[in-house]
Chains A and B, each alone.
Chain A
Amino acid sequence: MSSRLMSIIRKEFIQILRDPRTLVLIILMPIMQLFLLGYAATTDVKNISMAVWDQSQSQQSRALLDAFRVANYFSIDYMIGSENEYRSLIESGQIRAALIIPPDYEIRLLEGKAQISLVLDGSDATVGGTALSVAKLIGQSYATKILTEQTALTGRQASFNPPLDVRTQVWYNPDLIAAYFNVPGVIGMILYFITALLTASAIVRERERGTIEQLIVTPIRSWELVVGKILPYAILAFIDTLEILVIGHWWFGVPVRGDVGLIFLLSGLFVISSLGIGLFASTIANTQQEAFITVMVTMLPSIFLSGFFFPIEAMPKFLQYVSAIVPLRYYLVIIRALLLKGVGAAALQNEIIALSIFAVVIMGAAAVRFKKRLD
């Protein structure tokens, strides 16, 4: 490695270490993001507040409520006695669901025609959707249980309404824990953020503070300047990757099923493409603020189109095509597959090829635009 390159890298590290704000950003941001997306942004719904209007007040109705209690998804907070009561509770947001057990519940159950109704607050689609499916499941399993008991009691096969046999199978993340899904996403987002944003502003800072004028007149070559400026941030990005993997694995229990070497290798490929974006942004922007905005303009669509929050398959066709040029999209597939599925490189070859093409194109474009001159 050339000594000039080493000098630039050392200088860059001194500057990073002396800039406490950036340092805090680099070290704490992954942790913050991780905990935000691991906990707050969870789509796991638990303890949905519920009111119960038990008009039956029978042994059977109490048994049904026990089934709901045991499942833990609902928390029975109110026992009420009228329609108006649950209506106002839902309207004021104190409960999200109301369970209504009719007066003839016990009798109809014996006849095999029992009905209960569940009123859900659908204003939060996630909670509503989860509550609905959970309530159905609880109802079904409870019905199965009753049927089995009745069969045992009467000693003959029940002739009516065979209980619906719903068996869902969820692979890789059977409990659908959001953190499993989010942690790999956070790795992608942080890598993108650190490399693209910090590189762009580190390069633009030289121009903004006028130090570029002194750099230009040294024998430093353009590639040395570029590599020397971006390598420290690439190293920091890897430290962040490690940080997220360690916290994700030990704290959130996210599995690391794939080859760790491969994870770092393919993360490196992604880092090259986001460094390219940062470098390209630095050739457009004149101030750090402009650099920040330029990177942000690419970052937000990247996150939304990458499949981080919303599945790409569910997007309109047009947006699906747009997402094809978002490198984060490919990296998310790669990192999620490596962590959760534990696949090898062969299963990811399409993503690897797409990411490689992007890296070459953006780096090439940035290199063409990047000139070691003032004009």
Chain B
Amino acid sequence: MNDYLVQAANLKKYFGETHAVDGVSLQVASGEIYGLVGSDGAGKTTTMRLLVGALKPNEGSIEVCGYDVLRQTEQARSTIGYLSQRFSMYEDLTVLENIRFFAEVRGLSATEWLPRSMEILEFVGLEKFKDRRAGQLSGGMKQKLGLASALVTRPRLLLLDEPTTGVDPVTRQDFWQLVIKLVGAREGDGVSVIISTPYMDEASRCHRVGFMKNGQIIAEDTPSNLRARLNGRVLELRGGPLDVLRRVAHSDADVEDVQAFGDRLHIRVSEGTSKAVLKRLKKEITEAGGHVDELRSVPPGLEDVFIALSDHEYSSVFQPMN
């Protein structure tokens, strides 16, 4: 057996003319948190569904824990905990009844399920709500219930499809603490997590991040390596009026993109031009009638990287570093 818990090669999934997943290859090691990011419709959910065998790929192969997901589907699934994007617990069953149902159908015996369920409910902090109907839980609690249900059979791989979308920031924090605790606590067993998220702060918590676009992973690396790809190419500009700043920045030949972050602009410049741009931009703005409070080179955030990757023309020349 190799070191990778998940090995997917050249996955393709078509829905009619749409190539939802178009050649995704993916390797996830034991104890790794792998983040799938990308805009809506990039193919994240379809990839997740393929990995768990809920969809059958048109092409490609998937192995999870040494089991072929396509041929040894049930064995493979017994090692996977899956939390779908949409809440998929029974709203008319209580928290405990839901956990019991999913524990039992996954093969936990009558003597096993209760202690295990209580343990997992305590872990996610839902033990006080065990008799509450799932439909009456808050959004965050629902996600915790989904997580508990996915964890009840001690999976080695956890697939979390946008688990924190639509959940308040505090609960998102809670949720991530659980995920990190889970991976940390069971490093010996080698539990891995694949999580899809639209949030960059969450992506930066992953060990590795794959950026999806048009059904493909177009960039994959650790968050710091991804950020390093734009080192020295992001300038931060504070001043006013904003429309003047924006117009002048855009007109500069070396500026590739301008994005507003609150009261400041992030300006992405071509490789090796930041010093020159820093010099001339201030002057140009003053001449155009604006004023500059601050203009400096800043360390790139993941957000800058993903905006760069989303840029159609740009992504083709954005080659991974080795």
Residues of A within 8 A of B (CB): 3-4, 7-8, 11, 14-15, 18-19, 209-220, 373-375
Contacts and interface: CB of A to CB of B under 8 A. Distances in A.
B102 interface: yes
B97 A14 contact: yes
Contacts of A15: 90, 92-93
Contacts of B257: none
B101 A11 contact: yes
B211 to A, nearest CB: 25
Given A4-B104, A214-B149, A374-B55, A219 B87 contact: no
24 contacts: A4-B104, A7-B101, A8-B105, A11-B90, A11-B97, A14-B92, A14-B93, A14-B97, A15-B93, A18-B93, A209-B91, A214-B84, A214-B89, A216-B53, A217-B53, A219-B77, A219-B78, A219-B105, A219-B106, A219-B107, A220-B105, A373-B54, A375-B55, A375-B56
B132 to A, nearest CB: 13
Given A4-B104, A214-B102, A373 B91 contact: no
Q: Which of A11, A214, A215, A216 has the most CB of B within 10 A?
A: A214
A218 B86 contact: no
Given A218-B102, A375-B56, A19 B92 contact: yes
A219 B109 CA distance: 14
Contacts of B77: 217-219
A148 B104 CA distance: 84
Contacts of A216: 53-54
Contacts, number: 76
A106 B86 CA distance: 88
Given A14-B93, A211-B88, A374-B49, 20 more contacts: A3-B104, A4-B104, A7-B105, A14-B97, A15-B92, A209-B90, A210-B88, A211-B90, A213-B86, A214-B82, A214-B102, A215-B105, A216-B53, A217-B53, A218-B77, A218-B106, A219-B78, A219-B107, A373-B55, A374-B55
Contacts of B121: none
B90 A213 contact: no
Given A7-B105, A220-B105, A373 B52 contact: no
A189 B105 CA distance: 34
Contacts of B54: 213, 216-217, 373-374
Interface string B87-124: 11111110001001110111101100000000000000
A11 B106 contact: no
B230 interface: no
Given A7-B104, A373-B54, A213 B97 contact: no
B105 A217 contact: no
B80 interface: yes
Contacts of A375: 15, 55-56
Top 6 closest pairs, chain A to chain B, by CB = A210-B86, A7-B104, A214-B88, A213-B84, A210-B88, A219-B74
A214 B145 CA distance: 13
Contacts of A7: 100-101, 104-105
B101 A373 contact: no
A217 B90 contact: no
A217 B104 CA distance: 13
Contacts of B49: 213, 374
A4 B86 contact: no
A18 B88 contact: no
A7 B102 CA distance: 9
A216 B86 CA distance: 14
Contacts of B55: 373-375
B54 to A, nearest CB: 5
Nearest to A371: B56
A220 B54 CA distance: 13
Contacts of B53: 216-217
A19 B110 CA distance: 26
